[in-house]
């Protein structure tokens, strides 16, 4: 599938924010078996969310960015989710580029994320390097990764 992706901010309490949540529920809860009560958290209302849409307006993916609670130079990227039919189409890359651009715009010098281990190669393309040990998160192997901006 080839498409041009439009990635725009999505306010959590808006219809676009609701679409971000639908995508996350589809990918994480339905496909990957994450418990529904684990999919949202106290960060969602304060995070910067993005929503990727195809040329036809179809909502295909989402991700979020938020500041680290203890280090003002560090941001976190998380809840990266792309619907199945949009995978391997550049949608995830468009989301990541938008989130990294926003992190730079906000003056962060470092970005960290918790990657599902099968996605390490994807994040490495954007300069992320693993650190620490592999650990389970909702029974899915994860590893922490970081990139300097």
Report the chain (149 residues): mean pLDDT per 10 consecutive residues.
Answer: 80 97 96 92 97 94 97 97 92 96 97 95 96 92 96
- Give the Cα separation of 23 and 1 in Å (integer): 18
Instruction: Output phi, psi for 103, to 5 deg.
Output: -60, -45
Dihedral, CA atoms, 130, 125, 77, 48, nearest 10 degrees? 170
Residue 69 CB burial class (10 angstroms; 0-12, 13-18, ≥19): exposed
Residue 123: in which H helix or E strand, if any? helix 120-124
pLDDT of residue 55: 87
pLDDT at 94: 96
C-alpha to C-alpha distance for 53 and 4, rounded to whole angstroms: 8
- Per-residue model confidence (pLDDT) at position 76: 98
Ranges assigned E (strand) in 24-128: 48-53, 59-67, 74-82, 110-116
- Assign domain 6-148 to its CATH superfamily: Gcn5-related N-acetyltransferase (GNAT) (3.40.630.30)
CA atoms of 53 and 95, how far apart (whole Å)? 10
Domain spans, the chain: 6-148
**DSSP assignments along 62-83, one per residue:** EEEEEE-SS-TTEEEEEEEEE-
pLDDT recorded at residue 2: 43
Rounded Cα gap, residues 110 and 1, in angstroms: 32
């Amino acid at each position: 599938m080839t498409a041009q992706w439009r990635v725009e901010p999505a306010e959590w309490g808006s219809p676009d924010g609701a679409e971000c949540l639908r995508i996350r529920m589809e990918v994480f809860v339905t496909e990957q078996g994450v418990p529904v009560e684990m999919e949202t958290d106290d960060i969602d209302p304060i995070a910067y969310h993005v929503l990727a849409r195809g040329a036809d307006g179809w909502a295909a993916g989402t991700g979020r960015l938020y500041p680290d609670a203890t280090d003002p130079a560090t941001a976190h990227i998380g809840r990266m989710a792309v619907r199945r039919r949009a995978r391997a189409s550049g949608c995830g890359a468009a989301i990541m580029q938008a989130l990294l651009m926003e992190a730079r715009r906000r003056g962060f010098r470092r970005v960290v994320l918790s990657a599902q281990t099968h996605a390490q190669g994807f994040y490495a393309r954007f300069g992320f390097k693993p650190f620490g040990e592999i650990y389970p998160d909702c029974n899915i192997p994860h590893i922490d990764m970081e990139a300097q901006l």
